[in-house]
Amino acid sequence: MRVATGVLNEIVSEAVALQQPPTDKGKRLKIFYTTQVAVKPPTFVIFVNEKYLMHFSYVRYLENRIRDAFGFEGTSLKFIIRERKENE
């Protein structure tokens, strides 16, 4: 199953609004956008400002929100975290 980027970003935005991303030394994780890059297994790339701020538990939280929204129960999901600077 392929998920449209716009719909996926709405789900991620709602998840971020419900539970704020982690901070470290005053820096907050910013999620710019998420896109699906593969179908088998469903693979998602999350573009963030600082990769080290993305804790595995927050990735799991986002994974569970995506699972609930799109019915990926029982399917292994793969997440790739990529850094993107704010001015790009």
The string of pLDDT tens digits covering residues 30-71 is 999 999 999 999 999 999 999 999 999 999 999 999 999 999
**Is 17 exposed, middle or buried, given 0-12, 13-18 or 19+ CB atoms closer than 10 A?**
exposed
Would you say how long the chain is, in residues? Answer: 88
Give me the pLDDT at residue 85, please.
Answer: 67
Q: How confident is the model at residue 88 (pLDDT cuts 50, 70, 90)?
A: low
Q: How confident is the model at residue 84 (pLDDT cuts 50, 70, 90)?
A: confident
Question: Residue 6 corresponds to which tokens in the numbers above?
Answer: 């716009």
Give me the pLDDT at residue 14, please.
Answer: 95
Domains of the chain and any CATH numbers: 5-83 (3.30.300.20)
Instruction: Provide the mean pLDDT of the chain.
Output: 91
Residue 87 has pLDDT above 80, yes or no: no
Task: Name residues whose C-beta falls within 8 Å of residue 8's C-beta, 6 or more positions apart in sequence.
Answer: 34, 35, 36, 44, 66
Top-confidence residue, 71 or 86: 71
What is the three-class DSSP state of 54? coil
Q: Which of 27, 34, 84, 40 is nearest to 59 (CA)?
A: 34
